[in-house]
């Protein structure tokens, strides 16, 4: 039983509804009662190709007058509009939507601000929303002092979750990150993120995944010999 997306328009409501195509007109009227507030016996249903056509007051393409006929048989399609008119002589158009005659409890801004049982009072008391304290931004100062031994060509170890050894290939300002001086390291193993270029700018050349850029405080220069990854551990045994 396919579903249809159909607009329903009445004096009290208007919007899109999902209806089964095999609903009879009688069943549809029962479903429209809680939506429109119009009792089924006082509903007159007219079919239009669109909501605009129904609102403009043009002629409908069909009158859904036979309560035993299904929507599919009437040719109802997606995005069609069913207009519901009310024949109840006691009905008052707009009685469910017109609130102009409803008494309202109103407060001036000053009266509202003076109350202690309002949302505004709760937000103020707990410093929430627009009444929250403005956080003081933490100033970021990228390190500028570079140890004298952090130079291109020096062997080093990059500190982190796992120490990685390599050779320094770049020291200087970059166009990425938050500024300051960065150290580019060519790693001994493919444990990096690139090939020495970042955002289209090349800082040094190496194989993919062998480059790493870190701050100077993450670099420990020392006598770190490059491991021979192809060496056989048994060579050291006699």
In this prediction, residue 129 carries a pLDDT of 86
Domain that holds residue 71: 3-86
For the chain, the domain total comes to 2
Greater confidence, 88 or 106? 88
- Of 28, 59, 86, which residue is a domain's last? 86
Q: Is the residue at 106 inside a domain?
A: no
Q: Is the residue at 237 inside a domain?
A: no
Q: What is the mean pLDDT of residues 89-98?
A: 68
Q: Is the residue at 99 inside a domain?
A: no
Q: What is the mean pLDDT of residues 193-208?
A: 92
Q: Of 18-22, 53-57, 133-137, give the lowest mean pLDDT range.
A: 133-137
Whole-model pTM? 0.42
Q: Is the pLDDT of residue 64 over 70?
A: yes
- pLDDT band of residue 77 (cuts 50, 70, 90) is very high
**Phi-psi category of 42—alpha, beta or left, where left has phi over 0 and alpha has psi -120 to 50?**
alpha
Q: Of 55-69, 82-96, 159-173, give the lowest mean pLDDT range.
A: 82-96
Q: Is the residue at 196 inside a domain?
A: yes
Give the dihedral sign, CA 99/104/108/111.
Answer: negative
**Distance, CA of 78 to CA of 19 (rounded, Å):** 10
Q: What is the mean pLDDT of residues 81-104?
A: 77
- Of 69, 86, 103, which residue is a domain's last? 86
- pLDDT band of residue 140 (cuts 50, 70, 90) is low
Q: Is the residue at 187 inside a domain?
A: yes
Residue where the block lists tokens 């159909």: 6
Please, are residues 51 and 7 in contact by the beta-carbon 8 Å criterion?
Answer: yes
- pLDDT band of residue 237 (cuts 50, 70, 90) is very low
Q: Is the residue at 53 inside a domain?
A: yes
Q: Is the residue at 52 inside a domain?
A: yes
Q: What is the CATH number of the domain that holds 64?
A: 3.10.20.90
Q: Is the residue at 121 inside a domain?
A: no
Q: What is the CATH number of the domain that holds 164?
A: 2.30.30.190
- Of 34, 66, 86, which residue is a domain's last? 86
**Distance, CA of 16 to CA of 3 (rounded, Å):** 12
């Amino acid at each position: 039983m396919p579903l249809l997306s159909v607009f329903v328009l009445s004096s009290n409501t208007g919007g899109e509804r999902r209806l089964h195509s095999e609903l009879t007109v009688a069943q549809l009227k029962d479903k429209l009662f809680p939506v429109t507030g119009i009792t089924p016996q006082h509903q007159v249903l007219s079919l239009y190709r669109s909501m605009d056509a129904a609102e403009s007051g043009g002629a409908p393409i069909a009158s859904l007058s036979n309560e035993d006929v299904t929507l599919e048989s009437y040719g109802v399609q997606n995005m069609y509009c069913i207009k519901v008119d009310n024949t109840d002589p006691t009905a008052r158009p707009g009685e469910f939507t017109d609130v102009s005659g409803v008494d309202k409890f109103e407060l001036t801004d000053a009266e509202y601000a003076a109350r202690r049982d309002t949302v505004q009072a709760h937000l103020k008391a707990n410093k929430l929303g627009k009444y929250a304290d403005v956080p003081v931004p933490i100033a970021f100062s990228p390190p500028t002092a570079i140890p004298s031994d952090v130079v291109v060509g020096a062997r080093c170890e990059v500190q982190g979750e796992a120490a990685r050894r390599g050779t320094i290939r770049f020291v200087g300002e970059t166009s990425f990150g938050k500024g300051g001086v960065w150290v580019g390291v060519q790693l001994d193993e493919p444990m990096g993120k690139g090939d020495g270029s970042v955002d289209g700018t090349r800082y040094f050349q190496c194989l993919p995944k062998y480059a790493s850029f870190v701050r100077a405080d993450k670099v420990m220069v020392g006598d770190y010999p490059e491991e021979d990854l192809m060496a056989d551990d048994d060579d050291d045994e006699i």
